[in-house]
Amino acid sequence: MINPGRPIQSFTQVLASSRHVSAAAIKTTIRKYQHPTPTVFFMGFSACPQALSSAPIHHQFQFLHSISRGLRRTRVSNLRAMQQEEEPKPSGRLRVPHVLTVAGSDSGAGAGIQADMKACAARRVYCSTVITAVTAQNTVGVQGVNIVTEDFVREQLKSVLSDMCPDVVKTGMLPSPGIVKVLCQSLKEFQVRALVVDPVMVSTSGDVLAGSSILASFRDELLPLADIVTPNLREASALLGGAPLETVADMHSAAKSIHNIGPRNVLVKGGDLPSSSDAVDVLFDGKEFYEFRSARVNTSNTHGTGCTLASSIAAELARGSSVLSAIKIAKRYVESALDYSKDMHIGGGRQGPFDHLMRLKDSALNLCARRPFSPNDLLLYAVTDSRMNKKWGRSMSDAVKSAIEGGATIVQLREKDADTRDFLEAAKTCLAICRSHGVPLLINDRIDIALACDADGVHVGQSDMPARVARTILGPDKIIGVSCKTPEQAKKAWIDGADYIGCGGVYPTNTKENNLTVGLEGLKTVCLESKLPVVAIGGIGISNVRPVMELGVSNLKGVAVVSALFDRESVSTETQNLLKVIMAST
Ligand SMILES: Nc1ncnc2c1ncn2[C@@H]1O[C@H](COP(=O)(O)OP(=O)(O)OP(=O)(O)O)[C@@H](O)[C@H]1O
Ligand SMILES: Cc1ncc(CO)c(N)n1
Ligand SMILES: [Mg+2]
């Protein structure tokens, strides 16, 4: 009857049928139940299943509790099988991968807890934290260390482990043998799928984060529990009694010797190997050696690479990767974050932090904050067209420049048949022009181009990327417009987080084939229902703009125009003239 390899659900059902208690009631009790379970119950009931149904109900709960922990005991090698066998999830709720980091705080936020959280966020894994020490630290060095008491480390561990069920625990700075002991006790009480140990001892600035008294605890208590340990050269040397490591061959033999201490895998990191032009790390898994090589990034912004590598390995393990592919992905991630951040400047010391999320330079390059979107920007909305530019022999950027000179208040690049590389280059040029005039630039449909040139936003049609997805990808500050012909589509655009809608075709047009004309009536209906500002589009020009602007609905903010500006000899003159009529009718 009892098979600890089966999901808890089955046990709940067994118990429910034998005790006439509802499965839901048992599950609720189990969830609330937080006391450590004496192993004796687990052992006793496993050995003698019959005892289960006759045992007092609170012992049965303890038993179930211990089994649910037992299920999580399985280590990395069983990770995949475990994931397939997981408990059925309550409908609509997703269990996300979760790493618990047990480490020190770095006030400069390049290493320690802060690096772990950023790395996990970048790798899309939830990260909880148990803080072992608070350091006063910057790019110059470590100015102070305040160690958290053993009792309070234990309390943090219990809070997280008893409730939030992290998949993987990653350790960083463990400043005292007492804290290592507390951690090992907690890990025995609350089992997790994998343990990643970064045996932090000395910061790159040379400051001691855990003294040599820690070595015995690492060797005797923590490393034997580890699925992978990730010493740098100095730490590997310290673990082995001080022999210097100077070559890749030395790293191989160190990995093998550390493996004898008890961890399942040893990754000796060679970030600080002076003789190597590559960044080489060496793994020994008890049988084979593996070398992970990448080009060495020429930068001094490497503070926290070790913490980041270890927490990204933990993140990949939590997502179900094997150890080998976890290391491969983690190393590639560190390399690309270093490369992205190589010319960043934070702090005056020797070793700066890097940007885990690879987004900071976007803000640095746009030093003057961009003005937020205003519905009034929609007044005269110029939409480019590659065929018209070709016909008149204009480049995209010349067309945009002339429209802005004529008074266009917002620009959209709608390039249906440009090559991606040419389009990106042209978009960058157009963006520089728009920025210098304070005019927002949007890209039609191509989210990738908008991201690559950091445009102000995108405009999407009903068969393009859904606005909700575009919003997730582009973030809260970009402008998103959606083409809508009906009140239902307008409502959906609002729910999806768009900023405005484009409604049309108002008049028949040749720019868009097979485009349904909604007419002025259709436009008015959509405007009255829309919670978003509206720009009218489709066949609008100097001769027919007045009835649109005089429709009398307050959220109709302007007109979007293609041919009336760009299928003309002088784009700037046409824009100027159209703007005059628009102004006269508002
Ligand atoms: N300049 C670099 N270019 C590319 N990869 C690097 C560079 N420096 C370090 N790495 C990689 O970063 C990871 C961390 O290695 P490193 O030896 O620097 O750890 P560490 O000394 O523990 O780091 P820290 O103490 O600064 O947090 C390894 O995968 C290493 O190969
Ligand atoms: C808190 C903390 N942990 C780890 C390191 C190692 O980089 C550091 N410098 N600071
Ligand atoms: Mg380190």
Query: What's the whole-number average pLDDT of the chain?
Result: 86
Residue 447 Cβ contacting ligand 2 at under 6 Å = no
Ligand 3 midpoint to CA 87 (Å)? 37
Separation of alpha carbons 467 and 481, rounded Å = 8
Which percentage of the chain shows pLDDT scores above 70? 83
Which ligand sits closest to the CA of 302? 1
Q: Is 162 helix (H, G, I), strand (E, B) or coil?
A: helix
Separation of alpha carbons 418 and 578, rounded Å = 28
Residue 418: the pLDDT is 86
Residue 365: the pLDDT is 72
Task: Give catalytic status of residue 48 as yes or no.
Answer: no
* Of the candidates 38, 40, 35, 65, the residue with the CA atom closest to the CA atom of residue 51: 40
The torsion of the CA quartet 451, 455, 457, 462, rounded to 10 degrees, works out to: -60
Rg (CA), the chain: 31
Single pTM value for the model: 0.79
Separation of alpha carbons 269 and 292, rounded Å = 9
Does residue 61 carry a pLDDT above 60?
A: no
Separation of alpha carbons 534 and 487, rounded Å = 12
Residue 111 Cβ contacting ligand 2 at under 6 Å = yes
Mean pLDDT of 227-235: 96
Burial of residue 101 (CB within 10 Å: 0-12, 13-18, 19+) is: buried
Q: Which residues of 28-65 are buried (b: 16+ CB within 10 A; e: fewer)?
A: ebbeeeeeebeeebbeebbeeeebbeebeeebbbbbbb
Separation of alpha carbons 526 and 318, rounded Å = 47
Which ligand sits closest to the CA of 210? 2
Residue 104 Cβ contacting ligand 2 at under 6 Å = yes
List the residue whose alpha carbon is closest to atom 11 of ligand 1.
Answer: 271
More confident residue, 55 or 435: 435
271 band by pLDDT with thresholds 50, 70 and 90: very high
β-bridge partners, 229: 197, 266
Of 269, 401, 485, 492, catalytic:
269
Residue 432 neighbours by CB distance under 10 Å? 12
One-letter amino acid at 333 equals Y
Mean pLDDT of 460-478: 95
Least confident window among 55-64, 77-86, 208-217, 331-340: 77-86
Tell me the H-state helices in 123-192: 150-163, 177-189
Separation of alpha carbons 429 and 423, rounded Å = 10
Residue 282 Cβ contacting ligand 1 at under 6 Å = no
Task: Give catalytic status of residue 504 as yes or no.
Answer: no
Could you give the C-alpha distances from 482 to 25, 195, 368, 455, 460, in angstroms and in order? Answer: 48, 47, 28, 16, 5
Does residue 545 carry a pLDDT above 60?
A: yes
Ligand 2 midpoint to CA 211 (Å)? 13
Q: What is the DSSP letter of 375?
A: G
Which ligand sits closest to the CA of 313? 1
Residue 504 Cβ contacting ligand 2 at under 6 Å = no
Residue 268 Cβ contacting ligand 2 at under 6 Å = no
* Of the candidates 578, 576, 537, 582, the residue with the CA atom closest to the CA atom of residue 404: 576
Q: Is 443 helix (H, G, I), strand (E, B) or coil?
A: strand
Separation of alpha carbons 69 and 82, rounded Å = 13
List all residues 6 or more positions away from 150 whose beta carbon is below 8 Å from its beta carbon. Answer: 176, 178, 179, 181, 182
Does residue 84 carry a pLDDT above 60?
A: no
Residue 334: the pLDDT is 98
512 band by pLDDT with thresholds 50, 70 and 90: low
One-letter amino acid at 10 equals S
Separation of alpha carbons 83 and 71, rounded Å = 11
Does residue 176 carry a pLDDT above 90?
A: yes
Task: Give catalytic status of residue 302 as yes or no.
Answer: yes
The two structure tokens encoding residue 341: 């951040």
Does residue 397 carry a pLDDT above 90?
A: yes
Ligand 3 midpoint to CA 361 (Å)? 26
Count of all residues that appear for the chain in the document: 586
Does residue 241 carry a pLDDT above 80?
A: yes
Does residue 497 carry a pLDDT above 90?
A: yes
Mean pLDDT of 572-582: 97
Residue 208: the pLDDT is 84
The two structure tokens encoding residue 279: 């960044």
One-letter amino acid at 217 equals S
Separation of alpha carbons 406 and 575, rounded Å = 5
Residue 10: the pLDDT is 35
* Of the candidates 175, 170, 172, the residue with the CA atom closest to the CA atom of residue 210: 175
Mean pLDDT of 83-104: 77
The two structure tokens encoding residue 61: 């709960």
Pairing assessment for the beta strands 278-284 and 289-295 based on DSSP bridges: antiparallel
Could you give the C-alpha distances from 68 to 195, 508, 557, in angstroms and in order? Answer: 18, 66, 59
Q: Is 534 helix (H, G, I), strand (E, B) or coil?
A: strand
Mean pLDDT of 233-244: 93
